[in-house]
Chain A
Amino acid sequence: MSGQMSKEALLKAYRKMRQIREFEERIHSEFATGEIPGFVHLYAGEEAVAVGFCEHLSNKDRISSTHRGHGHCIAKGVDLMGMMAEIYGRKTGTCGGKGGSMHIADLDVGMLGANGIVGAGPPLACGAGLASKLRKDGSVSVVFFGDGAANQGTNFESMNLAVTWDLPVIFVLENNGYAESTSPKYTARVGTENISDRARGFGMPAITVDGNDFFAVYEAAGEAIERARKGGGPSFVECKTLRYYGHFEGDAQTYRPKGEVKDARANNDPLKRFAAAVVAADLIDSVELEKIDKEVRAQVDSAVTAAKAAPDPDPESLFTDVYVSY
């Protein structure tokens, strides 16, 4: 289960997952007050995917993300205080309040941006992978996309491009059960249960894993990333998971079976499963996990407080950062 992971690494992974969960739960409640502008898409429930992959990555590795990008940002190491301020549209935000929830990016840590366009990430990740290949530094790129984006032409084109150019790109399909409100059952007939079967047709290793099992994701991610680092080309990992909130905040979710989220939270929650596994294996004491929970809660609290108190962007910033040179 966790043979390769030190206790320190386990605690770090748990902390990241807890940060994502706490961050998203908090935004859910704050959004209801009306203070957060714009559209927000929450990642809660899918934490094991982002963290399971990003724990194998360093700053020189790149990821591209989706409209549901907070989890990827936190997992890749984007500063949580800056993220919260960005979501509130503040001057102190990661992007100075010019991007918002759907466009948080920090290239210094290899985060190529959350993205408001479904299916925009795979071509960009191929470009990042090409840069890695040319630089010959062993870095890789990982593209996260959903079951909705799996049907975009960009995704098919990019799988072919990655195989043809032999790029160190890992395609990570977060199959959370709904493309906005529509199940893959109605949008992706691949003749099998798994969308990953398509990828195999492009000539790359492809696997489907339980996306709520951190250790299953971590292991599959490690294998795919290692292969890419060694020049073995692209891979595809489908992670089956479930999002706990709507497509966007405010979504009435009439398309969900009754009790789906409640049941998942009780019986298939990635954090609970992680905690149960490490405690049962006697690797970590539950008191240590509770300590992390408390610390993360305080951290997110202070991020919200700071974001609310932060100034709006300077009016003149409306006109800056369009071009590098004018």
Chain B
Amino acid sequence: MARKIMFKEAINEAIRLEMERDETVILMGLDVAGSAGTGQERDSWGGVLGVTKGLYHQFPERVFDAPISESSYIGAAVGASACGMRAIGELMFADFLGVCFDQLYNQAAKFRYMFGGKAVTPVTIRTIIGAGFCAAAQHSQSPYSIFTHVPGLKCIVPSNAYDAKGLLATAIQDDDPCIFFEHKALYTTKGDVPEEHYRIPLGKANILQEGKDVTIVALGLMVSVATKAAKQLEKDGISCTIIDPRTTSPLDQDAIFSSVKKTGRLVVVDEDSSRCGFAADIVAMTAQEVFSSLKAAPQMVTPPFVPVPFARNLETAYLPSAAKVEAAVRQTME
């Protein structure tokens, strides 16, 4: 039965259900058990934003507080997963992926291919992305494009509580290394989420609405930005299709191409960096595959090519907004 719960509760529930169903599922990360050195009862914290709260009590032997040594514990999650476990490594902020990049980029991603198909690495890395909190350049990025770039990794960017639960359940049971990007602005947003266990396949887009004029592709928090823009545009008689790919790798190309074939116009909304990124990728492949269907140049709504700024006015100017999406859509209609 569905009830309204928060995005972060949906994530907690997905982990709990997988840990109940599968004894090989383990969880490690900073403060995930959360004794926090207080001498108090453990599980006081449950990760920096409380996402894993309660899991240590239920699974004390399978939830591990890690030292602030991302290379070693993320690497250990990879190693344990190559040895029969399904490890979930929580990396506090995606900005810290740089600290343990090798263990994902050169190790987890490549084992299967380098070893001629003889290895599986069913590790899932959960990490927090997104700007909007004045957390500045090292705690606000959305670097899923860097990992999408790497063959062998699967990248998941959920946009709502229902998807978060179903996609994380799939990621944990997927035999390939998955990186699960959780936008911090979504954590307290609520959605209808069934109590029971369910899965959403990776690489299957969610089409939120269908319109005849423009195809908008958006991920994560940007789905709500695109939806807001589409409502405004509707008032002016411009009808939009909104596609949430849910995962950047694997990517549901068919959903995008077949929509663009109908609308002839494409706008991609992406919070990641503009160069060599997700938006650029979607525009490039659409231009290559369905060029003859295009009625206008595809548009990208991304941050400018600068680090995430600190001051509120600068950060607001940095982020894609409904107004920017509207403007981009109107440009394709000119």
What residues make up the interface of A, taking CB atoms closer than 8 Å to B? 62, 64, 93-99, 103, 105-108, 112-113, 115-117, 120, 122-128, 130-132, 134-135, 153-154, 157-158, 160-161, 164-165, 320-326
Question: Quick one: given A95-B114, A127-B87, are A325 and B174 in contact (CB under 8 Å)?
Answer: yes
A97-B116, A107-B82 given; name 5 further pairs at CB < 8 Å: A93-B116, A95-B115, A161-B69, A161-B72, A322-B113
Would you call B162 an interface residue if the criterion is a C-beta within 8 Å of the partner chain's C-beta atoms?
no
A134 contacts B26, C-beta separation under 8 Å: yes
Would you call B151 an interface residue if the criterion is a C-beta within 8 Å of the partner chain's C-beta atoms?
yes
The smallest C-beta distance from A92 to any residue of chain B, in angstroms, reads 11
Residue numbers in A under 8 Å from B175 (CB-CB): 324-325
What residues make up the interface of B, taking CB atoms closer than 8 Å to A? 26, 61-62, 64, 66-67, 69, 71-85, 87, 102-103, 106-107, 111-120, 151-152, 154, 174-176, 250
Instruction: Tell me which of B77, B114, B154 has the highest count of chain A C-beta atoms within 10 A of its own C-beta.
Output: B114
The smallest C-beta distance from B174 to any residue of chain A, in angstroms, reads 7
A160 contacts B69, C-beta separation under 8 Å: yes
A320 contacts B117, C-beta separation under 8 Å: yes
A128 contacts B118, C-beta separation under 8 Å: no
Query: Could you pull out 15 A-B pairs where Cβ atoms are within 8 angstroms?
Result: A64-B79, A95-B115, A99-B115, A99-B116, A105-B111, A107-B119, A113-B114, A115-B107, A117-B102, A120-B102, A123-B73, A130-B80, A157-B72, A161-B66, A323-B176
CA distance A164 to B120 in the complex (A): 27
CA distance A94 to B119 in the complex (A): 12
**The 5 residue pairs across chains A and B that have the minimum distance between CB atoms:** A123-B75, A127-B79, A124-B79, A96-B116, A95-B116
The smallest C-beta distance from A138 to any residue of chain B, in angstroms, reads 14
A117 contacts B115, C-beta separation under 8 Å: no
Residue numbers in A under 8 Å from B72 (CB-CB): 122-123, 126, 154, 157-158, 160-161
Give the number of residue pairs across the A-B interface with Cβ within 8 Å: 153
Residue numbers in A under 8 Å from B115 (CB-CB): 95, 98-99, 103, 105, 107, 113
Residue numbers in A under 8 Å from B64 (CB-CB): 130, 165
Question: Quick one: given A122-B72, A325-B176, are A127 and B81 in contact (CB under 8 Å)?
Answer: yes
Question: Quick one: given A321-B113, A322-B152, are A120 and B106 in contact (CB under 8 Å)?
Answer: yes
A123 contacts B103, C-beta separation under 8 Å: yes
| Contact residue among B61, B66, B112 (Cβ-Cβ distance under 8 Å from A324) | B112
Question: Quick one: given A93-B116, A120-B102, are A112 and B67 in contact (CB under 8 Å)?
Answer: no
Residue numbers in A under 8 Å from B111 (CB-CB): 105, 113
B75 contacts A321, C-beta separation under 8 Å: no
| Contact residue among B107, B112, B113, B174 (Cβ-Cβ distance under 8 Å from A117) | B107
Closest to B121 in A: A324
The smallest C-beta distance from B246 to any residue of chain A, in angstroms, reads 16
| Contact residue among B71, B80, B114 (Cβ-Cβ distance under 8 Å from A128) | B80
Residue numbers in A under 8 Å from B87 (CB-CB): 127
A123 contacts B79, C-beta separation under 8 Å: yes
A127 contacts B117, C-beta separation under 8 Å: no
CA distance A64 to B111 in the complex (A): 13
A131 contacts B114, C-beta separation under 8 Å: no
| Contact residue among A105, A127, A322 (Cβ-Cβ distance under 8 Å from B118) | A105
Residue numbers in A under 8 Å from B74 (CB-CB): 123
Instruction: Tell me which of A120, A132, A323 has the highest count of chain B C-beta atoms within 10 A of its own C-beta.
Output: A323
CA distance A64 to B64 in the complex (A): 23
A120 contacts B83, C-beta separation under 8 Å: no
CA distance A115 to B120 in the complex (A): 16
A130 contacts B114, C-beta separation under 8 Å: no
Closest to A324 in B: B175
CA distance A166 to B131 in the complex (A): 38
CA distance A15 to B81 in the complex (A): 33
A120 contacts B107, C-beta separation under 8 Å: yes
A160 contacts B79, C-beta separation under 8 Å: no
The smallest C-beta distance from A90 to any residue of chain B, in angstroms, reads 11
Residue numbers in B under 8 Å from A165 (CB-CB): 64
The smallest C-beta distance from B167 to any residue of chain A, in angstroms, reads 14
The smallest C-beta distance from A33 to any residue of chain B, in angstroms, reads 25
CA distance A161 to B112 in the complex (A): 26
The smallest C-beta distance from B68 to any residue of chain A, in angstroms, reads 9
B114 contacts A98, C-beta separation under 8 Å: yes
| Contact residue among A97, A108, A135, A325 (Cβ-Cβ distance under 8 Å from B84) | A135
Residue numbers in B under 8 Å from A164 (CB-CB): 67
Residue numbers in B under 8 Å from A95 (CB-CB): 114-116, 118
Residue numbers in B under 8 Å from A107 (CB-CB): 82-83, 115, 118-119
CA distance A127 to B81 in the complex (A): 8
| Contact residue among B78, B82, B106 (Cβ-Cβ distance under 8 Å from A116) | B106
Closest to A154 in B: B71
A127 contacts B67, C-beta separation under 8 Å: no
Question: Quick one: given A164-B67, A323-B152, are A126 and B79 in contact (CB under 8 Å)?
Answer: yes
Closest to A132 in B: B83
CA distance A99 to B113 in the complex (A): 8
CA distance A74 to B332 in the complex (A): 62
Residue numbers in B under 8 Å from A158 (CB-CB): 69, 72, 75-76
A96 contacts B75, C-beta separation under 8 Å: no
Residue numbers in A under 8 Å from B78 (CB-CB): 123-124, 127
The smallest C-beta distance from B299 to any residue of chain A, in angstroms, reads 30
The smallest C-beta distance from A322 to any residue of chain B, in angstroms, reads 5
A128 contacts B79, C-beta separation under 8 Å: yes
| Contact residue among A94, A154, A325 (Cβ-Cβ distance under 8 Å from B75) | A154
Residue numbers in B under 8 Å from A135 (CB-CB): 84
B176 contacts A127, C-beta separation under 8 Å: no
The smallest C-beta distance from B26 to any residue of chain A, in angstroms, reads 7
Residue numbers in B under 8 Å from A125 (CB-CB): 79
Residue numbers in B under 8 Å from A113 (CB-CB): 111, 114-115, 119
CA distance A322 to B113 in the complex (A): 5
Question: Quick one: given A64-B79, A96-B117, A125-B79, are A131 and B152 in contact (CB under 8 Å)?
Answer: no
Question: Quick one: given A134-B62, A153-B71, A161-B66, are A112 and B76 in contact (CB under 8 Å)?
Answer: no
Residue numbers in B under 8 Å from A123 (CB-CB): 71-76, 78-79, 103
